[in-house]
Amino acid sequence: MPTVQEIQRAPEGDEPLTMLTAYDAPTAAIVDEAGIDLILVGDSMGNAVLGYESTLPVTMEEVASHTGAVARAVDDALVVADMPFLSYGTTKGVGIENAGRLIKEAGANAVKIESGPHTVDLTERLVDLGIPVMAHLGLTPQRRNQIGGYARQGTTEEAAAEIRDLAAKHESAGAFSLVLEHVPDELAAEVTAALDIPVIGIGAGPETDGQVLVLTDVIGLSESVPPFAEQFGDVRREIEDAVAAYRDAVEDGSFP
Ligand SMILES: Nc1nc(=O)c2c([nH]1)NC[C@@H]1CN(c3ccc(C(=O)N[C@@H](CCC(=O)O)C(=O)O)cc3)CN21
Ligand SMILES: CC(C)C(=O)C(=O)O
Ligand SMILES: [Mg+2]
């Protein structure tokens, strides 16, 4: 697998980093074999595969279970587990214990935390303890009730300044990488230029050090997709065709 150190050297390389989510063993194996650099076991599992309406109901047990499935299937990619809503931030001890579970029990190589002023200390402490941390700024979906939806972030000078400031603080705290979600391209380019650690964008334009998308959006299996997602395949259609062919074969007696 690429080490965190190799990921950190990415800004000097000429090829962007690639990251995709995965939530189970068979799809993680496919993503890994395709040579994707990082696999995120995202809390987007809530809406992508668990049937919730958002990421908020996702539990530690669910992320740990799906991270285990992904980690067991992956040989090469760096496996990053997304810390779910309220699994950190209440007290530092709880955040450390939960991050520790994802590494010790589930087999993740790193954790991702939706970042804010309150996660600078936690990031530093986790890094001190040997847990690599990926920060996440811009649109942080766990704050949807505060933001009032999933609109683009960092669109005022004040909001952009806060993102720049928090990006620098999380780099100083030891984060090995930063996800920047749904912000203006120009802000993402500025943050990327200002930081030494790789910035991985989603809906943040072409100037970041890498890109991440949700796997079900990419393969055409999501019920609804963000405006910045791109569909590269039609797996829903493939499943529909296979299921219908099976049904017809059983009903007309041609199978078995
Ligand atoms: N399948 C999937 N793909 C994702 O990229 C994703 C998830 N799930 N779940 C967690 C978050 C939520 N994301 C989203 C979801 C919707 C919009 C979206 O529709 N944005 C609209 C505005 C919507 C609003 O104002 O509430 C836009 O035009 O920006 C953006 C990001 C990105 N993440
Ligand atoms: C969209 C990515 C960055 C994420 O946090 C997730 O999939 O949960
Ligand atoms: Mg997430």
Is this complex's ipTM strictly greater than 0.95? yes
* 121 marked ligand binding residue: no
Question: How many CA atoms, within 13 angstroms, populate the side-chain half-sphere of residue 83?
Answer: 31
Q: What share of the chain is helix, strand, coil (3-state, %, to 5)?
A: 45, 15, 40
- Percent share of the chain, pLDDT over 70: 100
pLDDT tens for 10-68 read: 888 889 999 999 999 999 999 999 999 999 999 999 999 999 999 999 999 999 999 99
- What is the rounded distance in angstroms from the CA atom of residue 253 to the CA atom of residue 46? 39
Residue type, 27: T
Please give the pLDDT value at position 163: 99
* 82 marked ligand binding residue: yes
* 43 marked ligand binding residue: yes
> Measuring from atom 6 of ligand 2, which residue has the nearest CA?
42
Q: Is 48 in the pocket of ligand 1 (CB under 6 A)?
A: yes
pLDDT tens for 179-201 read: 999 999 999 999 999 999 999 99
- Percent share of the chain, pLDDT over 90: 95
| Residue 181: active-site member | yes
Q: Is 150 in the pocket of ligand 1 (CB under 6 A)?
A: yes
Q: Which of 6, 105, 157, 181 is catalytic?
A: 181
pLDDT tens for 64-79 read: 999 999 999 999 999 9
> Measuring from atom 8 of ligand 2, which residue has the nearest CA?
42
Could you tell me where the beta strands, DSSP code E, fall in 58-149? 78-82, 110-114, 133-138
Q: Write down all domains in the chain, each with its CATH number in brackets.
A: 4-251 (3.20.20.60)
Identify the residue with better confidence: 2 or 74.
Answer: 74
> What burial letters (b/e) apply to 25-36, b meaning 16+ CB within 10 Å?
bebbbebbeeeb
Dist. CA 251 → ligand 1 center (Å): 41
pLDDT tens for 201-256 read: 999 999 999 999 999 999 999 999 999 999 999 999 999 999 999 999 999 999 99
Widest Cα–Cα separation across the chain: 67
Confidence of residue 9 (pLDDT cuts 50, 70, 90): confident
Residues whose Cβ atom is located within 5 A of ion ligand 3: 42-43, 82
pLDDT tens for 141-152 read: 999 999 999 999
Q: Is 110 in the pocket of ligand 2 (CB under 6 A)?
A: no
- Among 22, 36, 111, 37, which residue's Cα sits nearest to residue 73? 22
pTM beyond 0.80: the answer is yes
Please give the pLDDT value at position 1: 58
- What is the rounded distance in angstroms from the CA atom of residue 140 to the CA atom of residue 69? 25
